[in-house]
Amino acid sequence: MVVPNQDPGGVPPAEGRSLPEWHTLSPEEVRRELGTGTAGLSAKDAEERLQRYGENVLREEARETRLQVFLRQFASILIVILIIAAVVSFFVGEPQDAAAILIIVVLNAILGFSQEWQAGEAIEALRQMLVQRAVVIRDGKQQEVDASGIVPGDLVVLEMGERVPADISIVEATSLEVDEAPLTGESSPVDKAPGPLPPGTSLAERSNMVFAGTTVVNGRGRGVVVSTGMKTEFGLIAGISQRVRAEATPLSRQMDILGRDIGLIAIGIAALAVAVGLLQQREFLEMFLIGVSLAVAVIPEGLPAVVTLTLAIGIKNMMRRNCLIRRLPASETLGAVSVICTDKTGTLTRNEMAVVRVRTPGSEVAVTGTGYAPEGEFLRDGSAVNPLEDPGLRQFLRAVLLCNHATLASDDENGWRIFGTPTEGALVVAAAKAGLSREGAPEAVREFSFNSTRKRMTIIFRENDGDVAYVKGAPEVLLSRSSRLFLDGSVVPITEDLRDTLRRELGEYASRGLRVLGAAYRPLPAGIEWLPASIGWTAETVEEDLIFLGFAGILDPPRPEAAEAIRLCRSAGIDVIMITGDNPLTASAIAQELGLSSEGAMTGADLEAMGDEELERRLRTTKVLSRVTAEHKLRVIDILSRERAVIAMTGDGVNDAPALKKASIGIAMGIKGTDVAKESSDMVLVDDNFASIVAGVEEGRREYDNIARFTRYLLSTNVGELVAIVGGLLMGLPLILIPVQILWINLITDGLTALALGLEPAEQDVMQRRPRAPDESILTRSAFLVILILGIWLGLLTIYVFSGLYEVDLDRARTMAFTGLIIFELYNVLNFRSFRFPLHQIGFFSNPTLLLAILGSLALQVLVVYVPVLQDFLGTASLTLADWGLLALLGLPVLLAGEAYKILRLRSGREGPDAGETQAPG
């Protein structure tokens, strides 16, 4: 006896033998390999194997604790710099500065933690999806056991409606069909039957195997367990998910680079200032304080909090557009997406099979309607017809309704639903659209069940004129067993020419990606008693000399809005690639109907035969990938990443989990998606609507534009502070701004207006431009130039205000400089609403929150200037009304110059930013 490798440590099966490919073995060979008899395992043998190979469960990856998730919020370089600044401020005798910085840092961490705690539960969801109970045969007796106690070699009983507990090789099957969509992506139930298959048969085509996590939707069977726990196909995906690490988002990478650069600049400027002051023979303590002030001025303390709050607000906006964001940076990442790898079943299609065409010997009709609601029309040459007035169509629909086990039902909570296989359900719905039902149906007296070998099923009914056998199955099989056909209400002999015509049309249906089912019938001699032992009357003898009725084309129809969504993706420069476990004909047909241009389709086998360079080249023109596995999806993402693509992966099944985790942003379906897919994703589509992705992209692009706006705005104000302090130092002036005043500007004044900038509406052409490059810096060359010019202007104005007053009254001069810089910055923030369009074009009141933020900042500054407690805290003195008027007049040119620049730029035809930049300010 050779038991398969189930040992967690990877011990060979026995004496170095390799693990067999179970699908290549016959039932007898499987039993022999696993030492399983017709009575199953003995209780003792089962217990020994359980001890040796472990429970039939998935091993969990160690999850982060709450503390680990919270501490991870401090991993940003900019946050580390802020913490260092707080420590330095404390030790130089500025505890209020240190406290203010630390409060901002902690609040930022709490907000990030609250958004991310539910991440990383994919393995737990996988474990919970395994069935809890299963029926096995041990010691010759059928018994129910905990599924975790199933071992290799167990003989398992499979019944309709049950979830498969492990990977099993089929030894017996009667009409056995399994829904494998969560594992392989196959949209239709798969017929299962015993018998060996060739080596290399793909997972989706292993008809002699059933896999853990899939569901039996029809028939019954028995099989021998060949793999359990982490060795199942289900478990292998869990293992892949554990090994895959989430990719850093483009924004997080950019902010880390920005934080590093700002930190180096802060240290350099502070050190240089201290050195210059010492050369001027100033006191060391004074220069150290100036150095700290410069470092505080360079670092935009409010930036991390504003980014976090803006992303959190964006998450709420996306939820209103049916995009549930699970990880904070993902909302912005969606705006950078350049490739969407989308599943077909349930994402681009409805995951509801429907009859779309019916071909009878006399005519062909199209069938309209979506979903399982019995609403739709039968169209011949575009005109509606009554199917009950067409004898051939009526007889066909009656036959597929009677030779059928599916039922159609509705309720207020779930609407119309099908109980049974989706394919049979589609036929029942088509009959219901014609007004047919089983009410008053004749008595069924015998059934010959469907299996993958016979490719047909028969139910015999006792009707008034005698017994009638109704047969449903593969049309080519029924045609070969038919000698007559039903034409214009009469039964006529079938000619070879007509048989060839029907076969040719059958091939055309298949080439369109339709699943095709045929129907036939045969009146039987009266008086037959349909007993199991009836002599002579078997399936073979009943299912001959049939009268052919026609065939139906069945399709999982595309979502009505999916075609428009793909068109919008194309206009936004986003490439769409369909990746599905379904067959290539069906996938290509759906792609064509949706307007997804592709040079043919590639299968998983094609991918395995290609090198990386060839696959990279093919992916530029071939946008349909079928019969792919989890490993194939990961390879495709890796290949696309080489071209610096930002990849979104949509999916709903277990097989999608690793790719969802690996992609730049994983998007799971909210309604039809498995828990595994949802927990592995960054975003969940609440309505399963592909079009919602487009809305999410628009929101993501708006978010990034606004983050770029307020980042550049904050840096311009910090340059102004830096110029004021350094300029005053070089001119031999006293310290113009003390550290606590700089902190007030950076955290309160700039923080309010920057956050309001984060609510700026999207520009009208946001979805008509190509995605930004993932390595594009927020600080482009032109943006840096604008920041530098405006910052120098603000700083020189501040020096001008201070230099005329400090010799008379230092406190009043410092208050004028402090207040003046705030007023100048409030003018400046209006410049950053757009660097493409002037205010009158974007609408002065189109962002009312910003106007409120400006008024709020002014109100707070009034309090700071006149409230005694705040005067003591911030070192301010009272100002006159004339002082306020003077500062308002001095700052006005800052706004007027920005408006003049934008108007001149529009008139010269330079409406967009420089090449390679986003259309955010600068």
* Residues noted as catalytic: 343
- Coil, helix or strand at residue 893: helix
490 DSSP β-pair partners = 487
CA distances to 167, 332, 512, 634, 784 from 581, rounded to whole Å, are 19, 30, 17, 14, 48
From the list 886, 724, 887, the residue with the least C-alpha distance to 793 is 724
CB 416 within 8 A of CB 374: yes
The C-alpha atoms of residue 853 and residue 870 are separated, in whole angstroms, by 20
Length of the chain, in residues:
922
> Strand 683-685 to strand 665-669: parallel, antiparallel, or no bridges (unpaired)?
parallel
The C-alpha atoms of residue 455 and residue 516 are separated, in whole angstroms, by 12
367 DSSP β-pair partners = 378
Q: Which amino acid is at 118?
A: Q
Maximal C-alpha separation, the chain: 123
In this structure, what is the dihedral angle of CA atoms 697, 703, 709, 715, given to the nearest 10 degrees? -130
CB neighbours of 768 closer than 8 A, spacing ≥ 6?
571, 572
CB 662 within 8 A of CB 632: no
From the list 574, 616, 623, the residue with the least C-alpha distance to 602 is 623
Q: Which amino acid is at 391?
A: P
What is the DSSP track for 209-272?
EE-TT-EEEEEEEEEEEEE-GGGSHHHHHHHHHHH--PPPPHHHHHHHHHHHHHHHHHHHHHHH
**Residue 378 phi, psi (nearest 5):** -110, 120
Distance of CA 69 to the CA centre of its chain: 22
Per DSSP, 703 falls in state H
What angle, rounded to 10 degrees, do the helices at 250-279 and 303-320 form? Answer: 160
- Coil, helix or strand at residue 40: strand
The C-alpha atoms of residue 725 and residue 728 are separated, in whole angstroms, by 5
The C-alpha atoms of residue 49 and residue 36 are separated, in whole angstroms, by 12
**Residue 367 phi, psi (nearest 5):** -120, 125
The C-alpha atoms of residue 407 and residue 578 are separated, in whole angstroms, by 32
CB 92 within 8 A of CB 289: yes
CB 183 within 8 A of CB 653: yes
Q: With helix as H, strand as E and coil as C, how does 493-509 read?
A: ECCHHHHHHHHHHHHHH
The C-alpha atoms of residue 235 and residue 238 are separated, in whole angstroms, by 5
CB 552 within 8 A of CB 427: yes
From the list 751, 390, 355, 816, the residue with the least C-alpha distance to 554 is 355
CB 728 within 8 A of CB 734: yes
Tokens describing residue 550: 């026609």
661 DSSP β-pair partners = none
Per DSSP, 20 falls in state P
Tokens describing residue 421: 């296989």
The C-alpha atoms of residue 601 and residue 625 are separated, in whole angstroms, by 6
List, in sequence order, the alpha helices (H) in 351-451: 391-402, 422-433
**Residue 719 phi, psi (nearest 5):** -65, -40
Cα 903–907–911 angle (5° rounding)?
Answer: 80
